[in-house]
Chain A
């Protein structure tokens, strides 16, 4: 299979980025050091090329109505200019993808989806499009996407974008041919900037001149785990429902109707996602999670070394009926049980507004 390259591929190579295959794309996984890149985002500012992600546009009178019946979260009820995170579910409640819906203008909505799910999502949504008075278009090939993240993101971007509005977290504004969203996947303040390839390429070059740290997908994954954001294929997949991943808050049973509403009405799940911290050992995806009797009760969905805590962290999927009353958890690392502490709050508190 031929791998796709973003329009910034040559820039990544020039910067010494280590390129790996990811979701059908050749993407930079790191430039210098995963730790330095992640800490640049936490303390200063970094930028990610995430042009592999998909952009769909819905335009017309029924734009919001069309999306609202597809996703679990409330789109029509959200104010204009807001971004709304939501799972996209099947009738049986299982998750096709998680995505962000951007309310750009009346009758004009953009949806950003995971790169690996672009075709699956588009085909599903297209199959539900009949009868709605709106267009539904996959413009993933026309858009590049940068995520500028970190406490200094606003000041960096405002020096390049004239009259940049200090919009709220999880909202969006259009500026010329750019779509500027105050979203991200790191827990920090920042912008996701959608635009035509050449415009995004020159923005990237501006960022490099301003010494913004280029960051690869490895640091992005560490950053999202530290603030406990789910990643499709790990915390979410085709067999799980939103409740399995702790996303009950995105299921709006008060909406008149959406696909999966009946199946999700009971709010039941077979799993719960727990947050574990290890003083010693690094949990990795697929490692078994054990109770105090060393019986398997679940599995690590995502795990890494946290660069902020300097400890191993895991998001682990536990069978609801095996969740230990004593809250004693162990992670089986290479056939050795390592004690893990259950925490209720995200491992790291991001600085987003």
Chain B
């Protein structure tokens, strides 16, 4: 499957991407994930002020026929959510990296060391999923 995997992002095994800018981490789902899900019709993300824990579920993304949990790549507090995408989740299908979901103020940036690079994620997609 031809997928778009930007070099400047980091990736989880659950197919989230993370953009790290200072201690703010912007989170979305990858092009591979949106393609596998198909038509995305519902998105549920936490409100600003919610506390997220590394590896715990923070929301769901639903296609017509499936429900998938979203996993946080970092511990921290939600400082912003993309209401535009929450209202029109199909935007994730058309632009997975533009349609970010939430921004989190990370407590401990060292947690991000466990995320995959673009190259590692490409290999991960090719081999396991």
Contact = CB atoms under 8 A, between A and B. Distances in A.
Interface size class of B (residues with CB under 8 A): 10 to 19
A202 interface: no
A35 B37 CA distance: 12
A281 interface: yes
Contact of B65 (A218, A310, A334): A218
Contacts of A218: 38, 64-65
Contacts of B116: none
B67 interface: yes
Interface centre among B60, B62, B67 (most CB of A within 10 A): B62
Contacts of B67: 282, 284
B63 A34 contact: yes
B42 A281 contact: yes
A305 B42 contact: yes
B14 interface: no
Contacts of B42: 281-282, 305
Main secondary structure of the interface of B (DSSP, over half): strand
Contacts of A282: 41-42, 62, 67
B77 interface: no
A221 interface: yes
B60 A34 contact: no
A304 interface: yes
A221 B66 CA distance: 12
Contacts of B41: 282, 305, 310
A307 B90 CA distance: 13
A30 interface: yes
Given A282-B42, A305-B42, A35 B64 contact: yes
Interface string B56-91: 000010111101000000000000000000000000
Interface in B26-46: 38-39, 41-42, 44
Contacts of A34: 38-39, 63-65
B64 A222 contact: yes
A232 to B, nearest CB: 18
A41 to B, nearest CB: 14
A61 B63 CA distance: 51
Interface in B106-120: none
Contacts of A35: 39, 64
Given A30-B38, A33-B38, A282-B41, A307 B64 contact: yes
B22 to A, nearest CB: 32
Interface string A33-57: 1110000000000000000000000
A310 B90 CA distance: 12
Interface in A210-255: 218, 221-222
A35 B62 CA distance: 13
A215 to B, nearest CB: 13
B65 A222 contact: yes
B24 to A, nearest CB: 27
Given A282-B41, A282-B42, A304 B64 contact: yes
Interface string A8-46: 000000000000000000000110011100000000000
A305 to B, nearest CB: 5
Nearest to A312: B42
Contact of B60 (A30, A33, A334): A334
A145 B63 CA distance: 28
Interface string A289-323: 00000000000000011010010000000000000
Contacts of A304: 64-65
A334 B69 CA distance: 11
Interface centre among B38, B39, B64 (most CB of A within 10 A): B64
Contacts of A33: 38-39
Nearest to A221: B65
A40 to B, nearest CB: 14
B58 to A, nearest CB: 12
A80 B42 CA distance: 48
A221 B107 CA distance: 44
25 contacts: A29-B65, A30-B38, A33-B38, A33-B39, A34-B38, A34-B65, A218-B64, A218-B65, A221-B65, A222-B64, A222-B65, A281-B42, A282-B41, A282-B42, A282-B62, A282-B67, A304-B65, A305-B41, A305-B42, A305-B62, A305-B64, A307-B64, A310-B41, A334-B44, A334-B60
